[in-house]
Chain A
Amino acid sequence: MNDRYRVRRILGRVWMYAAALAVFLFAVFPVYWVLATALRPTGEIFTREPTLFPGELTLEHFERVLSGVLIPGASFWSFLTNSLIVTVGSVTVAALVSLLAAVAVARFRFSLRSAFIMMLMVIQMVPVEALIISLFVNFFHLGRTLDMELVNNLSGVFVVYVAVALPITILMIRNFVAAVPKSLEEAAAIDGASGWTIFWRILMPLVAPGLGAASIFAFITAWNEFLVAFTFLQNNTGAFTLPISLQYYFGAVSVEWGSIMAASTLLTVPVMIFFLFVQRRMVSGLTMGAVKG
């Protein structure tokens, strides 16, 4: 009886570890395959009998990507710069604008308040995939009217990323602001602190984690965004972001899998590093609203 129980337990354990290993391999293998392809010489890529491990390691594909020979006239570094400008820029703007709106929503009662919040909730559900046509048409007209380059230029993409990030960041930051006890502010106000001092000294430190959590989403969404950038920037290789440069490589040199995988690795690494730091917050942030209540 006791033995059978133990055997069952051990068997159960074996199953558990086997399952864990299978899941682990399923999750990791494609990532490994990207790296393995990027690091092996071309001869090992174009074979009908691929080997699991590279027989020889090489950086030639990375050199090709970094030296900018794949897209004439534009280098990887300019794509990286564009991606950084658009993501960091739009996230910063979105965070600032959201912070203001979040304070308004969490700290003031005003007649448009519920309407504003409802609008945010509904708007964040509208898929960009559905909006893409009217976004293009709208920016086309707006650009003409204002005599500005909104299409074929980073500025249009930038503005869209800010707007897309706003609803969820406002709603998230709002929760953090609301969680700061009002008594803290009132105490400071009695001590004679001005509105700004209260904002910077009392509110900000407590809301900063929320601001960070919200920015993470905006950052990852913008960094990975493909459709809007693809639609708006196709005619201007100089304004390409990393994801569409990857698509461009893919279209232009569709058989150079080594270079494509090297470029893919370069796109992925920053997000991976970022993820390692913020993993916990991703989960709590995304599921916060509905679970906690």
Chain B
Amino acid sequence: MNRPAGPAVVPEPPEERSRASARLTAYRRRRMIPYLLILPALVILALVLLWPILQMVWMSLHGYGLHQLQGQPAEWNSFAHYLNVLTDERFWEIFRNTIVVCLAMVVLTMVLGTLVGILMHKLPAWASTVLGLGLMLAWATPVISAAIVYRWLFDTRYGLVNAVLSTLPDWLVGGGWQDFNWFGSPGTLFPILVVTVVWQSFPFVAISILAGLKSIPGELYEAVRIDGAGAWKAFWNVTFPMLRPLFALLLVLQIIWDFRIFTQLFILAGGVSNRDVALIPTYIYQLGFASTPPNYGMGSAIAVIMTVLVLAISAYYLRVMIRQEEAR
């Protein structure tokens, strides 16, 4: 862009001056253009996201409930919410469950997705396309439909899984599957949650990896094969280093997405009232909307903790993006 011209030192004749000021106006206008262009976006973001983010932090530091919703002033409560959350055993249990469940989802998604990606790369084109279409069905299923169908598959009375398990011999799968309730306790509900989520997210990883694999020149594999390396070695010596940025990105995206799981758990657990099977997002919702009276302040404190965690996890991704930005 043009640098602004310095103020004229020599007084100019009148007509010259008016032309200069016209140029200056044009220049100013041109300088305003980018601001005008981002203005609509800024206004919407400020109103709908930035302000609520600030408000979330603010509410987490004040007593905030129905009265404040109705307009009464909120009172500063000297970090009481944070002190309470951080010393609450229940919160730590939910925190731990969130981490464990999230890790299980991420690891399974990444491993399965990578294996399937490699598999698709090796399959002949027709088989790869058919498999790809199958993956897309799982991927494209709306989250809520996915959650509901898993709820149905594992339904206590008429679910397919219980029916199959009770016809299988007891020495293989144990007995008592008829009317077995999968959704009441964390030990059985969380695995189903993990399967539901992995089912929907591994196709994206597989197809991304496939796209990445196609970009690796075949000669590289030739080279390691001549060295007598097997598939395992070829993966770690060629595929992984070549696709490292892709893996890193997929990993971060998966962590962020799986950390936020709400809908699937909401459907599988039948709401948010069973705190034994809560994860951080449902716990926030429960404190904010499902408890009586609502505790917006405490919910916000946990929301702030969650946001900080997510930002910390995505710091790597953000750093890469911002570095690229600077390199531009």
Contact, chains A and B (beta carbon distance below 8 A): yes
Q: Which residue numbers of A lie inside 8 Å of B, CB to CB?
A: 16-17, 19-20, 23-24, 26-28, 30-31, 33-34, 37, 45-50, 97-98, 100-101, 103-105, 107-110, 112-114, 116-123, 125-138, 140-142, 159-160, 162-164, 166-167, 170, 178, 223-224, 226-227, 231, 243, 246-247, 250, 257, 260-261, 264, 267-268, 271-272, 274-276, 279, 282-284, 286-287, 289-291, 293
Interface residue B51 (Cβ < 8 Å from any Cβ of A): yes
Q: What total of chain B residues lie within 8 Å of the partner, measured CB to CB?
A: 104
A202 to chain B, nearest CB (A): 17
B12-20, B83-91, B126-134 - interface stretch:
B126-134
- Contact between chains at A20 and B127 (CB < 8 Å): yes
- Contact between chains at A286 and B259 (CB < 8 Å): no
Q: Inter-chain contact count A-B, CB under 8 Å? A: 294
- Give the chain A neighbours of B111 by CB distance below 8 A: none
B49 touches which of A24, A121, A131, A133 (Cβ 8 Å): A131
**Closest CB pairs A-B (n = 9):** A104-B37, A163-B48, A108-B34, A130-B303, A129-B281, A275-B140, A133-B288, A104-B34, A101-B41
- Contact between chains at A50 and B160 (CB < 8 Å): yes
Q: For A118, give the chain B residue with the smallest CB separation.
A: B322
- Give the chain B neighbours of A16 by CB distance below 8 A: 119, 122-123
Report the separation of the CA atoms of residues A275 and B146 in the bound assembly, to the nearest whole angstrom.
16
- Contact between chains at A268 and B141 (CB < 8 Å): yes
- Contact between chains at A243 and B142 (CB < 8 Å): yes
- Contact between chains at A131 and B150 (CB < 8 Å): no
Q: With A137-B69, A160-B48, A167-B45 as given contacts, are A100 and B38 in contact (CB-CB < 8 Å)?
A: yes
Scoring A20, A129, A284 by chain B CB atoms within 10 A of each residue's CB, the highest score goes to A129
- Give the chain B neighbours of A160 by CB distance below 8 A: 48
- Give the chain A neighbours of B207 by CB distance below 8 A: 279, 283
B48 touches which of A24, A116, A159, A279 (Cβ 8 Å): A159
Report the separation of the CA atoms of residues A134 and B288 in the bound assembly, to the nearest whole angstrom.
9
- Give the chain A neighbours of B64 by CB distance below 8 A: 137
Q: With A16-B122, A163-B44, A170-B41 as given contacts, are A138 and B178 in contact (CB-CB < 8 Å)?
A: no
- Give the chain B neighbours of A141 by CB distance below 8 A: 69, 71
Interface string of B159-187 (1 = CB under 8 A from A): 01001001100000000001000000000
- Contact between chains at B311 and A138 (CB < 8 Å): no
- Contact between chains at A138 and B249 (CB < 8 Å): no
Interface residue B92 (Cβ < 8 Å from any Cβ of A): no
A2 to chain B, nearest CB (A): 18
Dominant SS at the A interface? helix
A289 touches which of B127, B145, B262, B324 (Cβ 8 Å): B324
Interface residue B321 (Cβ < 8 Å from any Cβ of A): yes
- Give the chain B neighbours of A136 by CB distance below 8 A: 288-289
B149 touches which of A34, A123, A132, A272 (Cβ 8 Å): A34
Q: With A30-B146, A246-B148 as given contacts, are A130 and B56 in contact (CB-CB < 8 Å)?
A: yes
Interface string of B138-157 (1 = CB under 8 A from A): 11111111101110110101
Q: With A20-B127, A117-B325, A122-B318 as given contacts, are A291 and B141 in contact (CB-CB < 8 Å)?
A: no
- Contact between chains at A30 and B149 (CB < 8 Å): yes
- Contact between chains at A23 and B131 (CB < 8 Å): yes
- Give the chain B neighbours of A27 by CB distance below 8 A: 134-135, 137-138, 199, 203
- Give the chain A neighbours of B166 by CB distance below 8 A: 48
Interface string of B36-55 (1 = CB under 8 A from A): 01101110110111111101
B63 to chain A, nearest CB (A): 13
- Contact between chains at B52 and A131 (CB < 8 Å): yes
Interface residue B236 (Cβ < 8 Å from any Cβ of A): no
Interface residue B285 (Cβ < 8 Å from any Cβ of A): yes
Interface residue B31 (Cβ < 8 Å from any Cβ of A): yes
